[in-house]
Structure 1
Amino acid sequence: MEFAGKSVLVTGGSSGIGRAVGSMLAERGADVTIAGLDQAEVDAAVADLTLVARGTVAGFAVDVRSEPEVRALVDRAARPGGGLDVVVASAGVQRYGAAADTTTEEWDEVLDVNLRGCFLTARFAVPHLRARGGGSVVVVSSVQAFVSQRAVAAYVASKAGLLGFVRSLAVDEAANGIRVNAVCPGSVDTTMLRDAARLFAGDAASAAELIGRWGAAHPLGRVARAEEVAEVVAFLAGDRASFVTGAAIPVDGGLLASAGVVLPE
Structure 2
Amino acid sequence: MTEHAGRVALVTGGSSGIGRGVAPELAEQGASVVVHGLVHDQAESVADEIRRFGRRAVATAGPIGLAQTSERAVELALDEFGGLDTLVTSAGIQWYGDVVETSAEGWAEVFDTNVTGVFLAAHYALPFIRMSATGSVVIVSSVQATASQAGVPAYAASKGALLALARAMAVDEGPHGVRVNSVSPGSVDTPMLRAAAARFTEDPDAIEKLVRNWGTAHPLGRVATPAEVGAVVSFLASPRASFVSGDDVRVDGGLLSRLAAALPEPDAGSR
Same fold judged by TM-score > 0.5?
yes
Distance 1:234 1:64 in 2: 22
- Assess if the C-alpha contact under 8 Å between 2:134 and 2:178 holds in 1: yes
Q: Which whole-Å CA distance do the structure 2 matches of 1:53 and 1:106 have between them?
A: 41
TM-score (norm 1): 0.97
CA-CA distance at 1:81 after TM superposition: 7.1
**Structure 1: 4+ residue segments shifted above 6 A:** none
| Post-superposition offset of 1:39 | 1.6
Letter in 1 for 2:26: L
Q: Is the 8 A contact 2:99 2:153 kept in 1?
A: yes
- List per-residue Cα deviations over 1:107-157 (Å, max 9, x = no partner): 011010000000000111110011224500000000000000000010000
Match in the other structure for 1:79: 79
How much has 1:80 moved relative to structure 2?
7.2
Residue 66 of structure 2 is matched in structure 1 by 66
1:42 paired to 2:43: yes
* Counterparts of residues 152-191 of structure 1 (less than 5 Å): 152-191=152-191
| Change in 2 beyond 3 A, CA 1:133/1:2 | closer
Q: Distance in 2 between matches of 1:81 and 1:150?
A: 44
Q: Which residue of 2 aligns with 1:219?
A: 219
Q: 1:53 to 1:259 in 2, by over 3 A?
A: farther
Question: How much has 1:70 moved relative to structure 2?
Answer: 1.3
Partner of 1:258: 258
Answer yes or no: is the 8 Å Cα contact 1:23–1:52 preserved in 2: no
Letter in 2 for 1:161: A
Give the aligned length.
264
Residues 142 and 183 in structure 2, CA contact (< 8 A), matched pair in contact too: yes
- CA 1:25–1:81 in 2, change beyond 3 Å: closer, same or farther? closer
Tell me the SS of whatever aligns to 2:118: helix
SS in 2 for 1:148: coil
Q: Which amino acid aligns with 1:116?
A: T
Task: Note if 1:18 corresponds to 2:19.
Answer: yes
Give 1:20's aligned amino acid: G
Q: Residue in 1 aligned with 2:233? A: 233
Distance 2:120 2:22 in 1: 20
- Structure 2 unaligned runs (5+)? 266-271
- Shift of residue 42, structure 1, vs aligned partner: 1.4
When normalised by structure 2's length, the TM-score is 0.95
- Could you tell me how far apart the structure 1 residues matched to 2:203 and 2:213 are? 15
Q: Distance in 2 between matches of 1:161 and 1:47?
A: 33
Q: Which moved more, 1:245-254 or 1:17-26?
A: 17-26
Q: Distance in 1 between matches of 2:108 and 2:170?
A: 26
Q: Distance in 1 between matches of 2:149 and 2:6?
A: 42
Matches within 5 A, 1:24-173: 24-54=25-55, 56-79=56-79, 82-173=82-173
Classify the secondary structure of the residue corresponding to 1:201. coil
Query: Are the counterparts in 2 of residues 26 and 52 from structure 1 also a CA contact under 8 Å?
Result: no
Whole-Å separation in 2 of the counterparts to 1:224 and 1:16: 11
Alpha-carbon distance, 1:198 to partner: 1.0
**Range moving further from structure 2, 245-254 or 72-81:** 72-81
Cα distance between partner residues in 1 of 2:95 and 2:48: 30
Q: Could you tell me how far apart the structure 1 residues matched to 2:80 and 2:148 are? A: 43
Measure how far apart 1:93 and its partner are. 0.5
**Contact 1:63 / 1:69 at 8 angstroms: preserved in 2?**
yes
Report the alpha carbon displacement of residue 208 of structure 1 after superposing the two structures with TM: 1.0
- Counterpart of 2:15, as a letter, is S
CA shift for structure 1 position 238: 0.1
Q: Structure 1 residues 80 and 18 mapped into 2: Cα distance closer, same or farther (>3 Å)?
A: closer
Match for 1:67: what amino acid?
A: A
Indicate the SS of the match to 2:59.
strand
| 8 Å Cα contact 1:183/1:249 also seen in 2 | yes
- 8 A Cα contact 2:163 2:182, kept in partner: yes
Give the structure with higher Rg (CA).
Answer: 2
Residues of 1 paired with 2:149 and 2:113: CA distance? 20
RMSD: 1.2
